[in-house]
Amino acid sequence: MKQTKTYKFILSGGGTGGHIYPAVAIADELKLRYPDAEFLFVGASDRMEMDKVPQAGYKIEGLWISGIQRKLTLKNLAFPFKLMSSLWRSRKIIKSFKPDAVVGTGGFASGPLLQVATSNGIPSLIQEQNSFPGITNKLLSKKVNTICVAYDGLERFFPKAKIKLTGNPIRKDLLQVKDKRAEGQMAFKLNKEQQTLLVLGGSLGARRINQLIEANIDFFEAQNIQVIWQCGKLYYEQYSKYDTHKNVQVHAFLNQMDLAYAASDIIISRAGAISVSELCIVGKPVVFIPSPNVAEDHQTKNAKSIADKEAAILIREKDLEADFQKEFSALITDKTKREELSKNIEALALVNATRDIVDEVEKMLHK
């Protein structure tokens, strides 16, 4: 497609990796199609996107914004002031940058920016990763042009005419994971003769998964398993002491996620929407331990939709003590079971999601 002008794109979303990485993936695909385009990210000034987006090579502006706490707390008293501040700042950003299109990937940071963009008639798209949308996207859905989703049935929450089923955008570096095993083993200084367990609790960490790994360090050693453990930045100080164990390495965060996936033989993970989408692409045996503390228990629904297709193992937090060692031992000793899980989860991957979302952005540009 011929480029007739230099486009400008704003992408907004954040708070967790589940909102940041889809935005980066979309920006990367837009950059491939429009090499001369200008990009600006907008996030929350005190959250991880302020570090992660510049690491991906993009500029970012921060808003003074946070979500409303579900329980009564003094923090909620500041919310109206933060919202007014963020709307004012968003107006300045839109007026100065003059975007041709705006993309929101969820999280409270995207709310004010998309609100201002839609009020100014700027073509706007939101991407919803989960089977149960967050409040920000629910509110924005009435105003944006297009809503890209990863699950069926979201017409319960969004205007049906705007919905496009695309899947979740995945970082490009994950598409070649199969070719990177030797590189991954070298990067993490792994013993090629041992099987490797990769533990993921999300970008901030998962307390119950960390407790599980701590309780089973001797069990993994007895199974001759080496462990790459992403405990999350909130828990690193507590669990970094286990980094001294011969077959355990503890990380606050994994910047080379493609190499960690490539080096692993089995993965333990939460079941956030982006994690599930990535793990389908990666195609390794997975034990999902969904967080029970999320809206509508959507992580359990995400994990169950995979486990019901014989494509992963699901263990609920309440069943970990009774079931974990038994399930893990059966998996680590049964090569046929591991191969079956790998094949089945890979069959569920929507590898063209990022491309399909950017196709929708292009349609808005050329209307």
Q: Which residues are annotated as a binding site for UDP-N-acetyl-alpha-D-glucosamine?
A: 16-18, 130, 171, 203, 299
In degrees and rounded to multiples of 5, residue 305 shows phi and psi of -65, -30
d(C-alpha 249, C-alpha 238), whole Å:
14
Per the annotation, binding residues are 16-18, 130, 171, 203, 299
d(C-alpha 356, C-alpha 24), whole Å:
15
CB 341 within 8 A of CB 285: yes
Q: Which residues contact 357 (CB under 8 A, 6 or more apart)?
A: 26, 29, 125, 127, 148, 166, 169
CB 331 within 8 A of CB 337: yes
For residue 125, CA distances in Å to 38, 301, 364 come to: 17, 25, 9
d(C-alpha 196, C-alpha 260), whole Å:
10
Strands 266-269 and 248-251, how do they pair? unpaired
**DSSP-assigned letters across all residues of 82-143:** HHHHHHHHHHHHHHHH--SEEEE-SSTTHHHHHHHHHHTT--EEEEE-SSS--HHHHHHTTT
d(C-alpha 114, C-alpha 11), whole Å:
9
d(C-alpha 209, C-alpha 17), whole Å:
18
Closest CA to 157 of 298, 291, 364, 25: 298
The beta-carbon contacts of 239-245 under 8 Å, at least 24 apart in sequence, are 239/210, 239/213, 239/214, 242/214, 242/217, 245/217, 245/221
Closest CA to 264 of 289, 227, 239: 227
